[in-house]
C-alpha cells in the first residue's frame, strides 16, 4: 500500500498531504486516488470490517499536491462542508507564475464557467470566482513570480484559469499555460478550519517538495 503522509488524526478527522499527480477521488481512469487510500489506511489500522466511511469535503486537482482534510464521521463531514460553504475554511496556496507581477498584493474577481471538455473559462454567465494574492518574491532574471494565494471561492481550476486570464499562467500548467512538461508549480500549503466537534481552530502547513520550479525559490524564506 502507498504510504500516506498523515499530518493529524483523531476520531473525527484525518488531515493528509495529497501526493502530486494523484487523484483526490476515483475517476474513469481507475488510477490510484487519495480517498481510496485513506479508506484502506483506516480499514487496516483499526481492523474495520466491510466498507469504511470517509467524507470527501473538498478536492485538489490531480497535478496539485498539498493539504487535504477528510471526515471520519458523517457529522464531521456535514459541519466541515458547512464551513466551506460559508467561506470559513481558509485555503492558502503557493504558486510560481510566468512573468513579473508588479503589484505587491491584489484581488482577482472574475466569473468562471466550466466547459463540457473539462476546461474552465472566464465568461460573463459563469459563477463568481474570487481570490487574493500576495507577491512573495520576484525573479527578474527567470521572469517568474512566487505568490501566496488565498481562495475565497472554490471554482473548477480557479487559480489556474484566473492567473492565465490575467496574463500570468502558472508555470508547468499543461492546460492553461506553456506546455513545458515540468510539474505544475501550485501547492496547497496551508489549511485553517474550526474542528467540527471541539470548536478549536486548527492550522496545518506543509511546504512543497524541492523539485521542478520549486528549486528556483527558497520558499521557506517567504512563508510563515
pLDDT of residue 25: 93
Pairing of strands 65-71, 186-194: parallel
Answering whether pTM is above 0.85, one says: yes
- Residues 34-61 have a mean pLDDT of 93
What's the number of CA atoms in the CB half-sphere (13 Å) around residue 9?
Answer: 12
Give the pLDDT confidence score for residue 56 in this predicted structure. Answer: 97
pLDDT of residue 1: 60
- Catalytic option among 10, 27, 31, 61: 61
Beta strands per DSSP E along the chain: 5-9, 13-18, 55-56, 65-71, 90-98, 105-114, 120-122, 127-139, 144-151, 186-194, 201-205
Residue 223 has pLDDT above 90, yes or no: no
- Return the exposure string of 39-74: e unless at least 16 CB atoms fall within 10 Å of the residue's CB, then b: bebbeeeeeeeeeeebbbbbbbbbbbbbbbbbbbbe
pLDDT in tens, 125-144: 999 999 999 999 999 999 99
Report how far residue 217's alpha carbon sits from residue 97's, in angstroms, rounded to the nearest whole number: 12
Q: Which of 62, 190, 77, 60 is nearest to 134 (CA)?
A: 190
Q: Which residues contact 106 (CB under 8 A, 6 or more apart)?
A: 132, 133
Residue 61: active-site member: yes
Amino acid at each position: 500500500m502507498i504510504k500516506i503522509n498523515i499530518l493529524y488524526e483523531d476520531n473525527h478527522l484525518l488531515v493528509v498531504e495529497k501526493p502530486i499527480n494523484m487523484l483526490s477521488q476515483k475517476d474513469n481512469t481507475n488510477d490510484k486516488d487519495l480517498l481510496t487510500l485513506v479508506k484502506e489506511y483506516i480499514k487496516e489500522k483499526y481492523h474495520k470490517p466491510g466498507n469504511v466511511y470517509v467524507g470527501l469535503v473538498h478536492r485538489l486537482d490531480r497535478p496539485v499536491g498539498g493539504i487535504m482534510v477528510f471526515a471520519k464521521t458523517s457529522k464531521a463531514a456535514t459541519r466541515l462542508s458547512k464551513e466551506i460553504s460559508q467561506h470559513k475554511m481558509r485555503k492558502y496556496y503557493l504558486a510560481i507564475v510566468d512573468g513579473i507581477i508588479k503589484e505587491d498584493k491584489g484581488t482577482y474577481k472574475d466569473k468562471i464557467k466550466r466547459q463540457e471538455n473539462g476546461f474552465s473559462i472566464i465568461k460573463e454567465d459563469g459563477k463568481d470566482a474570487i481570490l487574493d494574492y500576495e507577491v512573495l518574491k520576484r525573479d527578474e532574471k527567470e521572469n517568474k513570480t512566487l505568490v501566496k494565494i488565498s481562495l475565497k471561492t472554490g471554482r473548477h481550476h480557479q487559480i489556474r484559469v484566473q492567473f492565465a486570464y490575467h496574463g500570468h499562467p502558472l508555470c508547468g500548467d499543461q492546460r492553461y499555460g506553456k506546455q513545458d512538461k515540468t510539474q505544475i508549480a501550485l501547492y496547497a500549503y496551508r489549511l485553517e478550519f474550526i474542528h467540527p466537534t471541539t470548536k478549536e481552530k486548527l492550522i496545518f502547513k506543509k511546504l512543497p517538495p524541492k523539485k521542478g520550479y520549486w528549486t528556483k525559490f527558497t520558499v521557506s524564506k517567504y512563508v510563515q
